[in-house]
Amino acid sequence: MWGDSTTPRDVSGGVVTKRELLRCGWEQAQIRSAIRKRQLARIRPGWFATPTADPEVVSAVRAGAAVGCISALARHGIWIPFGDKRTHLRAAEHRHRVGTGDYCTAYRELPTPRAAVDPLLVAVACAARCVSGEEFVAICDSVLHRHPELELADLRDVLTGAPERVLRLLDQVDRRAESGTESLVRVRLRHRNIRLDIQVYIPDVGRVDMLVGRSLIIEADSREHHGADYQNDRTRDQIARAAGYDPIRVTWEDVTFRWPVIEARILAMIRRGDHRGRRLAGCSLASFSVGQVGRPRH
């Protein structure tokens, strides 16, 4: 039955509304039949769960809310901060909130939830009030990187009503960032007045996450990167060193749990002048565009 062409194919966590079913061409009799056959279960008026529905989503809907904020972002495949295990919920502004979970709001009134999991940009609007500034920049990086159809103006629009300090965070957003780890490293180093560029192409080495000055390469490994391309990464580092670069590889654990130590090491390398470059064997600096080679202020 759920393979029919008239069946909703993108059901949020296995929860579907009567409105969605009717829009897909279902008849009232079909809905009643699906309930009798236990192919649908009523959660509350107008909302149904499929047999494989996610309990977290079902609980949110039963409480009269939707999965929202960073919990929704995770379901949309967007990077979220590590370690937050709460279920973030969003309810209608006027509705009495019941059940457990953390209820989130945006800087402006949002429409009553019409889906079990909030749409992407609605979730972004709520996340602006729930995470730190650097985490919000990383979230926005991830949104724009994964959704090329969106622009910075779209993010600015959903933040209508937000204070200036939040709107200024959008000036730090860069859709080229390929992981939250990379985003956090970039933001933190720039806050230390270190100029760098990201996703720089180096002949024979390939694209690197960040380049400080002429020769300090910083590679940021995300959680998903663990175990992947291990040998390839080490080979790239060897080639980079042979060409006169100084590569340093930062893991998500470094960024999450050991950042003060890692930052101190990077700053020590810059003070020592490692970013200024030794003689680059086989690689000409002329191959870089002006925008690819930054000069740190240190």
Residues 6+ apart with CB under 8 A from 269: 216, 246, 248, 275
Beta bridge partners of 200: 208
Half-sphere exposure of 107 (CA within 13 A, CB side): 18
Which of the listed residues 153, 172, 191 is the one where a domain comes to its end? 172
Three-state secondary structure readout of 97-141: CCCCCEECCCCCCCCCCCCCECCHHHHHHHHCCCCCHHHHHHHHH
pLDDT of 292 above 60:
no
- Inter-residue contact 13 to 46 (CB < 8 Å): no
Instruction: Please indicate, yes or no, whether residues 187 and 288 belong to a single structural domain of this protein.
Output: yes
CA distances from 243 to 168, 195, 238, 279, 288 (A): 39, 22, 9, 8, 14
Which pTM does this prediction carry? Answer: 0.84
Does the pLDDT at position 95 exceed 60? no
CATH code for the domain of 283? 3.40.960.10
Residue predicted with more confidence, 286 or 108: 108
Q: Is the pLDDT of residue 216 over 80?
A: yes
**Chain Cα centroid distance, residue 77:** 7
Beta bridge partners of 47: 17, 44
Q: What residue numbers bound the domain in which 271 lies?
A: 180-292
Mean pLDDT across 179-197: 96
Please indicate, yes or no, whether residues 120 and 146 belong to a single structural domain of this protein: yes
Together in a domain, 48 and 75: no
Q: Is 233 inside any structural domain? A: yes
* Encoded amino acid at 290, one letter: V
